[in-house]
Structure formats: structure tokens, C-alpha cells
Amino acid sequence: MSHLDTSAPFDPDAPAVPLHRIQEVGAALGLTTRTLRYYEELGLLKPAARSEGDYRLYDEDDLERLRFIKGLRDDAGFSLAEIGQLLEDEDARDRNRDRFRTTDDPAERRAIVDDALARVDRQVASLRSKMERLAAMIEEAEGRRGHLQTHIAELEAGVAPAPHDHRPKGGASRITRAAR
Amino acid sequence: MSHLDTSAPFDPDAPAVPLHRIQEVGAALGLTTRTLRYYEELGLLKPAARSEGDYRLYDEDDLERLRFIKGLRDDAGFSLAEIGQLLEDEDARDRNRDRFRTTDDPAERRAIVDDALARVDRQVASLRSKMERLAAMIEEAEGRRGHLQTHIAELEAGVAPAPHDHRPKGGASRITRAAR
DNA sequence: GCTAACCTTTACGTTAACGGCAAGGTGGGC
DNA sequence: GCCCACCTTGCCGTTAACGTAAAGGTTAGC
């Protein structure tokens, strides 16, 4: 299949897209080469191509995917295993994209895109769930904040604070110190 | 409960609050005893008291603190080190609570509560920052969703899809296969 | 006052997510 | 055609966050 001509106007083997080597990618995204290889080992992403000498070559699609992974890891706090679950869907999406191109049955195409939509919906749902839990924690913390402001108001008014039901907690007090 | 009286009508050593042993606490919060001891080792929480035989005894305050820790870990996805940073503040808060009780200078009391408020504010800010990053990811994902819906609409209309600028990515195509 | 269930500390094992090194191959600029 | 910076796989090391087993002490019920 190889069109040996490198100077042909349309060489199917000529890279139409810019490809990047591993260190370049790492520097661009703030990841080490080791991390990129590790992610590949885990099946999170396979670089778009390999060079003749087996160098990993990443394209823009890979970069975007890596940014997504990094976001899920750093921003959303997912484990790589959880990310793998979310990206297993992405892998299917890639395969479907191929199928999409090679079919012309509109029904099948419709089914594929519907499927992809469902996947993204699951991703969004997963992210939303995380965010709601976070929001609940924020509300809780703001509840504590309000409580403190009440105390401040009491102090401003020169009122003795409501008696705390907390016990000291400091190292000095020992419980059941009496009794043999 | 043995009301072992030493001398006073208000025995400072008598436990006025219910105390719980480690396994009970673990079961209640969904944490193992090992985890509780580990958190203590890290300085995340010191149980309210120890029994005569050195059993750890947790009070309700400890339980609440543990729920907070668990939320930061599971919901917010903070590392225990980061949680330690947020709770270092909490420790200072505990110490301040003691100082608060033992002083009667309104100015000092005011200062202490103000300090506590600032701490909670930092916690909230930290949580908010996490949530905003998460929200950004959600928006991004919903952008992809919208893109997919556009595709669906195109298919519905029987229109050929806009040409993808993605290249195949499937294993078959090798870049620079011709080469030298 | 005996026993079973629980607790203590100590210490080594495990999994996830990489870091880092060694031994050798690659690639493009001179 | 050479060179050096970059790449490869392989493998051992490390840190965080626990699990788990050992050897012994404690508590509460009977």
C-alpha cells in the first residue's frame, strides 16, 4: 500500500498532521515522559503513531485527551482506575468513529452518534455527582462560618457566649483518672 | 456507668459526654480501626481521651471531625497531606477554644473568633477553587455534548457530516512507513 | 476471677502512581 | 558518517494510604 514517493503532491503516508515526541508532549502538558508511558501501560491512551525506530508520536487529538485525563486527575480528583472507566467509553468512541466513517447506513450512523452522546452524558453525570458532593461540603463549611459570625455578634454586644457543650480536649484532662 | 465520686459535686473527671471505642467509631463512619490509628499517627485527629488501659476514646466532636476528614478525602478528593493543612488550622482552632474559655478579655476573645473565621474562610475558598475547576470540566464536557447533538441533527436532516479533521488513528496506518 | 471480645504497639506487606537508572537503539544537524 | 540528544524496554525504588498478622494487655459479663 505504500506510495513510496515522498515528493508526491498527495502522499497518503505523509503526515498531514503535526506529530510530537514524548518529551515535547510532557513539557507542554506538565507531565513526565514516565507518566505518559505509564498511562499508555494502563491503557489510558495509545499515541497516534510510532516512528520507524519505534518512537512514540502524539497528535493533537492525543494532547486533548491527555488534557482531559489530567483534568480528571487533578481537578476532579479521580483515580487512574476511575479515569480508565470513563475512557473505556472514549476508546469505544474512537472505534465507533472508524465505523462511522466506513459505513453509509444512516441508521447505523445515527446509532453510533447516539451511543457517543450517551457516553458523554455518563461522563457529565459522573462529574456532576462529584460536584454536588463538593457543594454540600461547602454549604456545611459555610454553616460553620455563620455559627462563628453569630459568636462574633455576641461578643460585639458584650454578651457572655452561650455555654459550649464541648469538653476541653487538651492533653491535661484524663478520663477515669480516679478508681484504681 | 460507675459514678465513682472523688470529692466534689462536680467531678471534672466524670465523663459527661458519651465516649466511643475505636471499632464502634469505625463502623459508624465506614472506616477501619487501622485507618483511625493512621490518621492519629498523621496528626489529623487525637481522640478526646484514653481509658485507664490506654484505649482510645472518641467523643462526638471527634466523630464530626472524622466525617469532615472523610468528606475532604472522598468527596473533595484531597490528599491526607492537604487535609492536614486544612486541619492544622483546626488544631489551632481547638487550642484557641481553650484560650477562649480561660480568658475574659473581650478583645482577645474577639481576636480568637476572628481568627477562627478566617480559617473557615480559607477552607471554603479551597473548596470553592476545587469546585470551580470541576465546573469548568463539566462545561467542557457539555460542549462536546452539544457538538454531538449537532451531528445528530445533521444526520436527521440527511446531510453528509462535515468532514472530520481527525485522521484514522486505528492500528493499520503507519506514519513515515516509506522513509529513507 | 475467668474468659471472650476488644484493645494496644510493632512491624512487615500491598497497591497506586509514579521516579530513576541501565543498556542499548534512533535521528537529524554538521 | 558522526555525534549527541532523545528515545526504547526493563527493572528496581519510593511515597501515600492503608492491610494484616503477632504478641500481649484491658474490659465487661458471668
DSSP B92-156: HHHHHHHHHHH---HHHHHHHHHHHHHHHHHHHHHHHHHHHHHHHHHHHHHHHHHHHHHHHHHHH
From chain B, the residues in CB contact with A98 under 8 A are 168-170
Distances (CA, A) of A150 to B92, B95, B114: 20, 20, 11
> Which nucleotide does the CA of A70 lie closest to, via C1'?
C17
Q: What whole-number distance in Å separates Cα of residue B167 and Cα of residue B175? A: 11
pLDDT value, residue A22: 98
Higher local confidence (pLDDT), B168 or B75: B75
Q: Look at residue A60 in the predicted model and tell me its pLDDT.
A: 95
Q: What pLDDT was estimated at residue A4? A: 37
**pTM to 2 decimal places:** 0.80
3-state secondary structure (DSSP) of residue A25: helix
Does the CB of B34 sit below 7 A from strand D?
A: yes
CB contacts, 8 Å: B136 with chain A:
75
Q: What's the pLDDT at B12?
A: 52
Query: Cell for A153?
Result: 455578634
Between A174 and B48, the more confident residue is B48
Mean pLDDT of B12-32: 86
Asked whether the beta carbons of A113 and B154 are under 8 A apart, the reply is no
Nine-digit cell string for B147? 457538538
* pLDDT for A154: 85
What would the mean pLDDT of B59-82 be, rounded to a whole number? 95
Confidence (pLDDT) at A137: 95
Element (H, E) at A56: strand A56-58
Question: Is there a contact between B180 and B173 (Cβ–Cβ < 8 Å)?
Answer: no
Q: Of A67-81, A82-96, B19-33, B39-53, where does mean pLDDT reach its minimum?
A: A82-96
Each residue's pLDDT, cut to its tens digit, for chain A (180 residues) gives 443 334 444 445 454 689 999 999 999 999 999 999 999 999 999 999 999 999 999 999 999 999 999 999 999 999 999 999 998 877 777 788 888 889 988 888 888 888 889 989 999 999 999 999 999 999 999 999 999 899 888 888 876 555 555 555 544 433 433 332
CB atoms under 10 Å from CB of A133, counted, come to: 16
Residue A179: the pLDDT is: 31
Cross-strand pairs, A20: A58
Looking at residue A165, what is its pLDDT?
Answer: 53
pLDDT for res B165 = 54
Cα(A154)–Cα(A70) distance, integer angstroms: 47
The predicted structure's pLDDT at residue A166: 53
CA atoms of A169 and A7, how far apart (whole Å): 80
Does residue B160 carry a pLDDT above 70?
no
> Do residues B125 and B86 lie in contact, with contact meaning Cβ atoms separated by under 8 Å?
no
**What's the CA gap between B60 and A142, in Å, rounded?**
20
Structural contact between residues A113 and B148, judged by C-beta atoms closer than 8 angstroms: yes
**Cα–Cα distance between A149 and A82 in angstroms, integer?**
40
Is residue B19 less than 8 Å (CB to CB) from chain A? Answer: yes
- Confidence band (pLDDT; 50, 70, 90) for B164? low
Cβ-contact B87, B120 below 8 angstroms: no
- Residue B161 above 50 pLDDT? yes
What was the pLDDT predicted at B3? 40
Q: How far is the CA of A81 from the C1' of C21 (A)?
A: 27
User: Is B63 part of the contact surface with chain A (CB cutoff 8 Å)?
Assistant: no
For A101-149, give the secondary structure using H, E and C.
HHCCCHHHHHHHHHHHHHHHHHHHHHHHHHHHHHHHHHHHHHHHHHHHH
Which residues of B, range 110-149, sit inside 8 Å of A by Cβ? 110, 113-114, 116-117, 120-121, 123-124, 127-128, 130-131, 133-138, 140-142, 144-145, 148-149
Higher pLDDT, B20 or B14: B20
Q: How confident is the model at residue B157 (pLDDT cuts 50, 70, 90)?
A: confident
Average pLDDT, whole number, for chain B? 82
pLDDT at B10: 47
